[in-house]
Amino acid sequence: MDEILRGINVAPSILSADFSRLGDEVEAVLNAGARVIHVDVMDGHFVPNITIGPPVVKSLQSLVHGAGALLDVHLMIERPEDYISRFAEAGADVIVVHQEACRHLHRVLDQIRDAGALAGVSLNPATPVETLAEARHFCDLVLIMSVNPGFGGQRFIPTSTAKIARARDYLPEDVIIEVDGGVTEFNAGSLVEAGARWLVAGSSVFGGRDVEERFAAVAQAAAAGV
C-alpha cells in the first residue's frame, strides 16, 4: 500500500470503459500494471452528468483488492457527507470530495478518515490552490482537475501544469497530488515533473483498441517525467 501511495501511478478512470464488460476492462488494466482504479461518481447536480454509485464500487472491490490495487473514488456530488460511509463500506480506499461541494470540509475529511479511507480534496479548474490554506493540513491527497468535471474525453486545460507546480510548493510533502482530465502520453511526463504523482487517465487508456498497450504508453510517459 505504501508503495502505491508514494509512487507514480496512472489511474485508469472507468468512466471511459465499456460498462457492458466492466470487469474485463478493469482486469485488463490491472494486468497491465495499474494499481489505482479511478471511479467517477456524478449526481446530475454538482456536475451535469449522472454515473454510478456504491453498488458498482462494491462489484469491483474483490477484483481490485485481489490484485493489490486501490479504489480511488472521486465524488462529484453535492452533500458528499451523506454518502461517505456507503462508499467506504463498498470498498473505497480513497474518497475524494470537491472543495466546492463542502460547506464543512474539515468535518467531511474527518468523516472519510474515520470510515477508514484516505481523504482527498478536489479543486475545479477555477478554484485556487490557496483555498486549501487550512485543509492542506488534514487531507491525504489533493486532486487538481485539469478539465471541468462532468465528462471524459475533454481537452486538458494548459494552465493546470503550473497549478500543480504551485500546489507542490504549497502542500505538505506527504500530501499526494493527483491530476484528472485530459491526461495522455503526451503530457504525462510534464505533469509528473510539475509534481503530480497520481495521473487519472480515462479516454487515453480505454479509448483505444488495446487497453493494455494504451495503459503502458501513458505509464511509460509518466515514468519518464521523474
Contact footprint for ligand DX5 (CB under 6 A): 13, 15-16, 38, 40, 74, 147, 149-154, 180-183, 200-204
Query: Whole-number minimum distance, CB 115 to ligand DX5, in Å?
Result: 21
Does residue 40 have an active-site annotation? yes
Q: Are strands 94-98 and 118-123 parallel, antiparallel or unpaired?
A: parallel
* 24: helix, strand or coil: helix
Q: Are residues 174 and 149 in contact, defined by beta-carbon separation less than 8 angstroms?
A: no
Site string for Zn ion, 111-150 (x = CB under 5 A): ----------------------------------------
Q: Please give the residue whose beta carbon sits closest to Zn ion in the complex.
A: 74
Query: Whole-number minimum distance, CB 116 to Zn ion, in Å?
Result: 21
Q: Which of 40, 43, 72, 93 is catalytic?
A: 40
Paired residues of 178 in beta bridges: 143, 198
Q: Are residues 169 and 177 in contact, defined by beta-carbon separation less than 8 angstroms?
A: no
Q: Please give the residue whose beta carbon sits closest to ligand DX5 in the complex.
A: 202
Q: Which cell is 15 given?
A: 468512466
Q: Are residues 120 and 144 in contact, defined by beta-carbon separation less than 8 angstroms?
A: no
The torsion of the CA quartet 31, 150, 170, 130, rounded to 10 degrees, works out to -170
List the end-to-end C-alpha distance of the chain, in Å, as a whole number. Answer: 20
Does residue 180 have an active-site annotation? yes
Q: Which cell is 208 given?
A: 483505444
CB neighbour class for 156 (10 Å; exposed up to 12, middle 13-18, buried from 19): middle
Query: Whole-number minimum distance, CB 173 to ligand DX5, in Å?
Result: 25
Q: Which of 72, 93, 140, 180 is catalytic?
A: 180
Judged by beta carbon, residue 91 or residue 149, the one nearer ligand DX5 is 149
Q: Does residue number 40 form part of the binding site for Zn ion (CB under 5 A)?
A: yes
Judged by beta carbon, residue 95 or residue 147, the one nearer ligand DX5 is 147
Q: Which cell is 202 given?
A: 480515462
Q: Which cell is 89 given?
A: 463500506
Site string for Zn ion, 66-105 (x = CB under 5 A): --------x-------------------------------
Task: Give the one entry of ligand DX5, Zn ion, none that residue 16 binds, where binding means its C-beta sits below a cut-off of 5 to 8 angstroms depending on kind.
Answer: ligand DX5
The site for Zn ion (CB under 5 A) is made up of 40, 74, 180
Q: Which residues carry out catalysis?
A: 40, 180
